[in-house]
Structure formats: structure tokens, C-alpha cells
Amino acid sequence: MTLLDLVIDIGGLGLFSDGNRASIIRKINGEDYQFGIRIDDLIEDGDMSANVKILPGDIVRIPESFF
């Protein structure tokens, strides 16, 4: 599964989501690592370099945007 597959599966981002401040929390060798992802760049600009693989057990965190 890729990030684009995930966004399509959940029906897109909410109105107040800040997709370019999103991150993936992934467990590697028993330790949690956090990687930044750019969902807005992927969806709005079509930047396919932002289409990362989503692995089993990954947690995708999408913060709320500031007004």
C-alpha cells in the first residue's frame, strides 16, 4: 500500500487537516521512528515523489492546521 492508496481508502483529508505536516510513525528494530510526509504535495500538486510506501504497523498522524 502507498500513501496515495491510503488517502483514497479513507476518502481524502478533512477540511482542517494539514497534510504537509503529517508523519508516519514506524517501528524499526523495536524502536519508534517518525518520518515527515507531504500529503498535500501528493494530492494537490501531483508530486509522486511524496507517494511513500505504507508498511503494516505504520501509524499515520495528520495534525490539524492553524488558522
**What is the number of structural domains in the chain?**
1
Report if residue 34 sits inside a domain.
yes
Q: How far apart are CA 37 and CA 22, in angstroms?
A: 5
Quick one: which H or E segment has residue 57? Answer: none
The domain containing residue 55 runs over which residues? Answer: 3-61
Report if residue 55 sits inside a domain.
yes
Report if residue 67 sits inside a domain.
no
Complete edge-to-edge strand list for the sheet that includes strand 31-36:
31-36, 23-28, 59-61
- Over the stretch 6-57, which tens digit does the pLDDT of each residue have? 999 999 998 899 999 999 999 999 999 999 999 999 999 999 999 999 999 9
Q: pLDDT confidence of 66, banded at 50, 70, 90?
A: confident
Report if residue 66 sits inside a domain.
no
